[in-house]
């Protein structure tokens, strides 16, 4: 984009010099310089045409750039909303797993209390032992599910942060590459 702007500036300077040359030639020479003057006029018209074409290209490129920026903004908005939905879903699942864990732990406490009472009376009932084992297994499953959901939530957040950092790095790289040609022209 800056190359086009630089070329446009050069063309405008050349057109100015040609115009000044024509003015000087028309003042200095009369009839004998008409062929050269005509040649310079044609060159001036050619340069004006080239300038108009370049200006049209600049307008087209600016329109494309604006469309690309709008598309990128829309894509980022969609990605953000889907990330928020995924995050909300992960939190709902984590909440459900924690509720299940609380329920399993309450069953385990109840069964352990019943086992203590049975042991205190001297009567050991096998079905109480089985219920306690089942409650303990259910508690372990609930803990595992809750841990897994928590890990998934953490991974989702890390993924979101990594993607944001990647987009920032890509944007910085794009900014660097567009700035380099302008620096090289100055040299």
154, HSE (Cβ side, Cα atoms, 13 Å): 6
The residue segments making up the domain with residue 18 are: 2-186
Residues 87/156, Cβ–Cβ less than 8 Å: yes
Residues, the chain, total?
187
Furthest-apart CA atoms within the chain: distance in Å: 135
Most confident of 69-78, 130-139, 175-184: 69-78
Task: With beta carbons less than 8 A apart as the criterion, state whether 1 and 65 touch.
Answer: yes
> Above 70 in pLDDT, residue 182?
no
Total domain count, the chain: 1
| 106 DSSP assignment | H
pLDDT of residue 59: 92
Residue 3 makes CB contacts below 8 A (sequence gap 6+) with 181, 185
- On the question of pLDDT at 28 being above 70, the answer is no
**Least confident segment among 17-26, 144-153, 175-184:** 175-184
Confidence check: pLDDT of 107 > 70: yes
């Amino acid at each position: 984009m800056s190359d086009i702007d630089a070329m446009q500036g050069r063309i405008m300077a050349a057109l100015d010099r040609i115009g000044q040359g024509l003015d000087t030639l028309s003042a200095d020479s009369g009839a004998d310089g008409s062929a050269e003057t005509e040649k310079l006029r044609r060159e001036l018209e050619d340069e004006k045409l080239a300038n108009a074409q370049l200006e049209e290209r600049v307008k087209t490129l600016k329109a494309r750039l604006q469309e690309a920026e709008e598309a990128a903004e829309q894509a980022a908005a969609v990605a953000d909303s889907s990330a928020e939905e995924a995050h909300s879903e992960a939190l709902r699942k984590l909440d459900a797993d924690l509720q299940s864990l609380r329920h399993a732990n309450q069953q385990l406490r109840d069964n352990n209390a019943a086992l203590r009472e049975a042991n205190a009376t001297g009567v050991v009932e096998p079905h109480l032992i089985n219920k306690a084992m089942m409650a303990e297994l259910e508690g372990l499953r609930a803990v595992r599910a809750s841990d897994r959901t928590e890990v998934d939530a953490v991974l989702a957040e890390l993924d979101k942060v990594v993607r944001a950092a990647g987009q920032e790095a890509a944007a910085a790289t794009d900014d660097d590459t567009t700035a380099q040609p302008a620096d090289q022209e100055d040299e």
